Amino acid sequence: MSVEQAPVQRADFDQVMVPNYSPAAFIPVRGEGSRVWDQSGRELIDFAGGIAVNALGHCHPALVKALTEQANTLWHVSNVFTNEPALRLAHKLVDATFADRAFFCNSGAESNEAAFKLARRVAHDRFGAEKHEIIATVNSFHGRTLFTVSVGGQPKYSDGFGPKITGISHVPYNDLEALKAQISDKTCAVVIEPIQGESGVVPADKAYLEGARKLCDEHNALLIFDEVQTGVGRTGSLYAYQHYGVTPDILTSAKSLGGGFPIGAMLTTSELAKHLAVGTHGTTYGGNPLGCAVACAVLDVINTPETLAGIKAKHERFKTRLEQIGQQYGLFTQVRGVGLLIGCVLSQAWVGKAKDVLNAAEKEGVMVLQAGPDVVRFAPSLVVEDADIDEGLDRFERAVAQLTKA
């Protein structure tokens, strides 16, 4: 019997995997739409979406078709060559955004790594080595590479790995005065998540993003929007910068872009892109035909008036019901977020117990997330059926009722 055919169970994780994750006790084995089945055949409704990744749910026909056709055509040629799906995807992204140029990679961390390197390279070329400082926000999250955890404003992810990359500072999120006090002519970039995802689903104030744009312009610094979690329709606009009406110089995208297939993108202008000349940056798998073909199909489904309007309507359906649940059972003090990135802020009695809510929900057959210990996060398929929303929230309410009764 081959390794691929050998039966495996959750206990195998603890024997053969590096213990940097603590996965759930069950193993999902099949998905369709917003439903998932585990090894025992139990069905769950998926409001987690692979952490805002499965933008069209599981096994969406358009994505299956795109991947299957490409898998039978061409898998990989390296960036010694270009390929048709990468060029088609770049055209779609450029046509739909402020950007003129795209760089493709494999993940959000790599997208941000490229953005930070580009920002420093632009400043170096235009103003000299002294202009290299990056300002990020407290509790931000930008990936797990050494550079991106250093820029991210959560020491728990960056401590213990030796000297950190220098020239990085952090200011409170949504605090324009703090940013104004920190920015200087040595600043090469300010990086902001339009909605802080991992630290609690905290939307930016419009005035904050407008002020950051103005400060960057005044100090010849670049404004980077990390849209790894908010991009590709998650907010009801294709990208959150369009929702806010504030345009960055560099934008990073991943997660939903591939609908479950690993792909990331950095988007920017021609004037900035020229600073990443041949040989200055690269990636082996970035822009591979498989990922790009799937991402093209994702955009074709999501970037339509009907789908984007549907996301906003589904937000209201979620919010109305979650607010009712929160008020009835005293579990939440606030339901916040934009589009289908929603966070329920736990009440004082439940602070620190988001994982308990997740576990209770799973027992009732619904998959949700946490965003820190105090917020329950929902990031479902952007085309989740209303019937699945209602059934999933029925299950979630049963979980909350059991939890609060206990």
Does 284 carry a binding-site annotation?
yes
Q: Contact, 346 vs 359, CB < 8 A?
A: no
Does 109 carry a binding-site annotation?
yes
- 338 Cβ contact partners less than 8 Å away, ≥ 6 residues apart: 195, 203, 230, 235, 236, 240, 243, 315
- Tell me how many helices (H) and strands (E) the chain has: 15, 17
Does 283 carry a binding-site annotation?
yes
The residues annotated with a catalytic role in the active site are: 141, 226, 255
Report how far residue 8's alpha carbon sits from residue 127's, in angstroms, rounded to the nearest whole number.
Answer: 56
**241-251: b (≥16 Cβ within 10 Å) or e:** bbbbebbbbbb
Report how far residue 136's alpha carbon sits from residue 116's, in angstroms, rounded to the nearest whole number.
Answer: 11
Q: Contact, 357 vs 368, CB < 8 A?
A: yes
Q: Beta partners for 135?
A: 169, 190
* DSSP symbols for 331-400: -EEEEEEETTEEEEEEPGGGTT-HHHHHHHHHHTTEE-EESSTTEEEE---TT--HHHHHHHHHHHHHHH
CA atoms within 13 A on the CB side of 335: 20
Task: Give me the residue label for tokens 């069905």.
Answer: 43
Does 35 carry a binding-site annotation?
no
Q: Beta partners for 195?
A: 203
Task: Give me the residue label for tokens 């959150």.
Answer: 240
Q: Residue 43 is encoded by which pair of tokens?
A: 């069905």
Binding-site members are 108-109, 141, 144, 226-229, 283-284
Binding-site members for pyridoxal 5'-phosphate are 108-109, 141, 226-229, 284
